[in-house]
Amino acid sequence: MQFSKLRLLGFKSFVDPTELVIAPGLTGVVGPNGCGKSNLLEALRWVMGENRASAMRGGGMDDVIFAGADSRPARNYAEVTLTLDNRERLAPAAFNTEDNLEIVRRITRDAGSAYKVNGKECRARDVQMLFADASTGAHSPALVRQGQIAELINAKPKARRRVLEEAAGISGLYKRRHEAELKLNGTESNLVRVEDVLEQLESQLRTLERQAKQAARYRQIADELRRSEGLLLYRRWREADVERLAAEGALGEASKAAAGAQGRALAALKAREAAEGKVPPLREEEAIAGSVLQRLQVEQAALAEQESRALQAIADLETRIAQLEKDAEREAALNKDAGETVERLNWEVEALEKAGAGHEDKMAEAKDAASTAAQSLQNVEAEADQLSEDAARLAARHQSAKRRLEDAKGLVEKLSGEIEKARVAEIEVLTSYETAKAQVAEAEALQLAATAEAEAAEVTLLAVEERRAVAQRIEGETRVSLSEADGEAKAHEGELAALQRLIARDQGDGVQILDKVRAEKGYEAALGAALADDLKAPEIGEDAASGWVTYGALKDTAPLPAGAARLALHVVAPEALARRLQLVGVVARAEGALLQGRLLPGQRLVSVEGDLWRWDGFRAGAEDAPSEAALRLQRQNRLVELEEAAREAQGLADKARAAHASAKALMQAAQAADQAARVARRRADEAATDAVRRVSKLRAEAESFGARVESLALAVKRREED
């Protein structure tokens, strides 16, 4: 590939469209300083994918856009186009279909830049790889900027290696290897993420398995309940039928008794006339008995209410007793942990007391031994000085007694000066000695304070560590609760979203009257069997060709067979379905075949399982696949249940999240307090150690000053004797 043309528009100083034709051979650009020669090289770097603003001699990438002049307004964008000759087909496979490649980079102020290759948008990475495969690019050593010749001459072996690799045409391989490493790192991150997602899915799967078991158990119990209800209804019907037969027999006997009763009624009429005179007193007695009965009923209601309150109070007390037992167990566990902590602290206190036993006596003995040794050293030094002086005097006597007489006056003057100097030095050293003793006392007081502060910091640290352990335990418990609540909420949300998409897909077939129908839970299959595909028709006006027209319910309709309940009582539907639903009854599965022969024209019976019996003799069993309408109705009812369950699960998750956030804040506060307590203890320990060292140092200095005072006193005494 050969560079054939460079076109600039709004790039730095090239505000107008400018083309630089790069012909075969040597192409040069000559001009004075500031004419824009360096801008051409920067344009080449920029169009080949340079993203560093510093390489463009600017503070930001927007600085490559023409900023304006006194006579020219600023531009809002800059564009550089580089044309490549690809007739030898040396470009990468993705760009090797054209004879000429036109790479365009355009930047808009405050909007970023974009790349195009032969008019098609592409990524910056694709352009960089294009030039890397051609052994060049924005960072190629072949693009020599001002001052780079000296850098290449003085370059390190690594930089020279880049030049050789580019000349060999393998620099693109390093770029692709870098891309491959980035992809591998991204793949590893994705694998880690996949493992996390798998763990979450396993948790959700366990939750769904638990819910599936609960749903299976629910269906089993529901089936048993329906069978039990059917048997109960059948038994009641049989009992009612027996009672009906008994009532018919009793009716015949009653008719016979009625004839005889008429004669007795005439006699009773006469007796009544006689008894009417006795009615008023009896009515008064009845009124009194009624008032007494009403009072007793009121008292009975009050006693029943007191009984319910007493039972509620008993239940509340039992709940509180159970809670108190749990609190007692928790407090016992806490007391046990506290007892173990107290025992451990007592053992540490005893160990510290044993370790510190006899420390003060040993310190006093060491001080006495040091004083005795210092005194012995001073005595030995004094004796050595005395012996030296005696030897000198004896030597002087042996050498020349005459010279002693001549030097006596000079020696007296010299010794007098030395005595005066020794006395002045003794006073200065004595002053320093007193000062050193005061500093020792002050340092010992600081040592005691630092030791007390270190002990207090240790006690504070133990208390903070205990609070941190409690906060971590609470945070762990709330984190587990939050994870479970989030898993439950996400499971509900996932099932709810899937069901909503399924319902939306079902509703995508157009407007149907089924969208306005709702059935009670358990009656979806019955409604689907009763209306089947008729529910797919829309609700229309009287002028339309096909659909449901609203006429309202029929006023006079034949009753359904005995034992059949109206399906309309369990369905919420538009008025257009009123007539159809009037003629549909719900019966037990075992009774449908028995009652089918009693159906009138237009009537039909269904069971909650989805069986159908029509008046014209047609019947369909529920063993066939459920109708699409029944499935949609079941999904709608399930959607309502899931929405409620999702709201409850989300509420629990929000509460768990708030509890976890509170526990996490407490744990962080406890950790911060623990860290602060550890820092305080470390500083207190360091202060105590420094205080011990300072006391030892000042004591040594004080003892040194004391020894010097004694030495100077002895020197003064010797000079006076001399």
Distance in angstroms (rounded) separating the CA atoms of residues 329 and 334: 9
pLDDT digits (tens, 9 = 90+) for 363-388: 667 567 657 766 766 776 677 667 76
Q: Which residues pair with 117 in a beta bridge?
A: 103, 120
Q: Which of 46-60, 117-131, 535-549 has the lowest mean pLDDT?
A: 535-549
Using CA atoms, how far residue 479 sits from 197, 256, 474, in Å, is: 18, 84, 8
By the 8 A CB rule, do 75 and 15 touch?
yes
Instruction: Please check the confidence at residue 673 and state whether its pLDDT lies above 80.
Output: yes
- The helix-helix angle for 171-275 and 157-168 (nearest 10°) equals 90
What integer pLDDT is reported at residue 83 of this predicted model?
92
Strands 604-606 and 584-586: parallel
Distance in angstroms (rounded) separating the CA atoms of residues 68 and 64: 12
559 φ, ψ (degrees, to nearest 5) = -70, 155
Distance in angstroms (rounded) separating the CA atoms of residues 653 and 539: 42
- The helix-helix angle for 628-721 and 401-506 (nearest 10°) equals 170
The number of residues in the chain equals 722
pLDDT band at 355 (very low <50, low <70, confident <90, very high): low
Map 623-656 to HEC letters: CCCCCHHHHHHHHHHHHHHHHHHHHHHHHHHHHH
Average pLDDT, the chain: 78
How many Å separate Cα 673 from the centre of its chain?
23
Determine the average pLDDT of the residues in 163-183.
Answer: 69
By the 8 A CB rule, do 618 and 628 touch?
no
Determine the average pLDDT of the residues in 264-278.
Answer: 74
In the numeric block, which tokens belong to residue 360?
């003060």
* 516: CB partners within 8 A, 6+ apart: 539, 573, 574
Distance in angstroms (rounded) separating the CA atoms of residues 22 and 13: 20
In the numeric block, which tokens belong to residue 195?
């493992």
Residue type, 43: A
Distance in angstroms (rounded) separating the CA atoms of residues 604 and 19: 88
In which residue are the tokens 């797919």 written? 536
Return the number of other C-beta atoms located less than 10 Å from residue 8's C-beta: 25
By the 8 A CB rule, do 78 and 109 touch?
no
Give the SS3 label for residue 612. Answer: strand
Distance in angstroms (rounded) separating the CA atoms of residues 425 and 362: 35
88 φ, ψ (degrees, to nearest 5) = -85, 0
Greatest mean pLDDT among 130-134, 233-237, 457-461, 684-688: 233-237
Give the SS3 label for residue 620. Answer: strand
In which residue are the tokens 């510190």 written? 356
In the numeric block, which tokens belong to residue 609?
């399982």
Q: Which of 50-59, 199-208, 242-251, 627-636 has the lowest mean pLDDT?
A: 627-636
Distance in angstroms (rounded) separating the CA atoms of residues 138 and 103: 14
* 9: CB partners within 8 A, 6+ apart: 16, 17, 18, 78, 79, 80, 81
What integer pLDDT is reported at residue 24 of this predicted model?
84
Determine the average pLDDT of the residues in 599-621.
Answer: 81
Instruction: Please check the confidence at residue 718 and state whether its pLDDT lies above 90.
Output: no
80 φ, ψ (degrees, to nearest 5) = -125, 130
Determine the average pLDDT of the residues in 611-630.
Answer: 72
Give the residue, 182 or 265, on which the prediction is more confident. Answer: 182
Greatest mean pLDDT among 276-290, 498-512, 577-591: 577-591
Q: Which of 35-39, 173-177, 509-513, 552-556 has the lowest mean pLDDT?
A: 509-513
Strands 100-108 and 77-85: antiparallel
Angle 444-445-448 (CA atoms, 0-180°, nearest 5)? 90
Q: Which of 22-31, 131-140, 537-546, 696-705 has the lowest mean pLDDT?
A: 537-546
Residue type, 331: E
pLDDT band at 625 (very low <50, low <70, confident <90, very high): very low
In the numeric block, which tokens belong to residue 361?
């006596």
In the numeric block, which tokens belong to residue 390?
């005696």
Residue type, 56: M
pLDDT digits (tens, 9 = 90+) for 75-132: 889 999 999 988 888 777 778 788 889 999 999 988 888 999 988 899 888 888 888 7
Q: Element (H or E) spanning 2, and its range? A: strand 2-9
- The helix-helix angle for 359-399 and 628-721 (nearest 10°) equals 30
Give the residue, 685 or 516, on which the prediction is more confident. Answer: 685
Q: Which residues pair with 107 in a beta bridge?
A: 78, 113
User: What b/e string do you get for 520-533 counting C-beta neighbours within 10 Å, with b at 16 or more?
Assistant: eeebbbbbbbbbee
What integer pLDDT is reported at residue 141 of this predicted model?
65
By the 8 A CB rule, do 674 and 388 touch?
no
Q: Which residues pair with 463 in a beta bridge?
A: none
Greatest mean pLDDT among 74-78, 145-149, 453-457: 74-78
Concatenating the DSSP letter of every residue in 665-687 gives: HHHHHHHHHHHHHHHHHHHHHHH
Instruction: Please check the confidence at residue 543 and state whether its pLDDT lies above 70.
Output: no
What integer pLDDT is reported at residue 104 of this predicted model?
94
pLDDT digits (tens, 9 = 90+) for 470-494: 887 887 788 777 777 777 777 767 7
Instruction: Please check the confidence at residue 527 and state whether its pLDDT lies above 60.
Output: yes
In the numeric block, which tokens belong to residue 441?
């006392």
In the numeric block, which tokens belong to residue 348?
């540490």
How many Å separate Cα 472 from the centre of its chain?
16
Percentage of the chain lying above the pLDDT 70 cut: 80
Map 96-121 to HEC letters: CCCCEEEEEEEEECCCEEEEEECCEE
Q: Element (H or E) spanning 326, and its range? A: helix 279-356
Nearest 10 degrees: Cα torsion 636, 639, 641, 647: -150
Distance in angstroms (rounded) separating the CA atoms of residues 190 and 187: 5
pLDDT band at 263 (very low <50, low <70, confident <90, very high): confident
What integer pLDDT is reported at residue 622 of this predicted model?
67
In the numeric block, which tokens belong to residue 312?
């509620």
By the 8 A CB rule, do 474 and 497 touch?
no
Through-space distance between the first and last CA atoms of the chain, rounded to whole angstroms: 110
Give the residue, 454 or 237, on which the prediction is more confident. Answer: 237
Give the residue, 580 or 502, on which the prediction is more confident. Answer: 580
By the 8 A CB rule, do 429 and 714 touch?
no
pLDDT digits (tens, 9 = 90+) for 322-343: 887 887 787 777 777 777 777 7
Distance in angstroms (rounded) separating the CA atoms of residues 106 and 9: 9
What integer pLDDT is reported at residue 91 of this predicted model?
79
151 φ, ψ (degrees, to nearest 5) = -65, -40
> DSSP state, 544?
S
Q: What Rg value do the Cα atoms of the chain yield, rounded?
A: 55
Give the residue, 163 or 699, on which the prediction is more confident. Answer: 699
What integer pLDDT is reported at residue 528 of this predicted model?
75
Distance in angstroms (rounded) separating the CA atoms of residues 482 and 353: 48
Concatenating the DSSP letter of every residue in 34-71 gives: TSSHHHHHHHHHHHTT---TGGGTSSSGGGGB----SS
- pTM of this prediction? 0.31
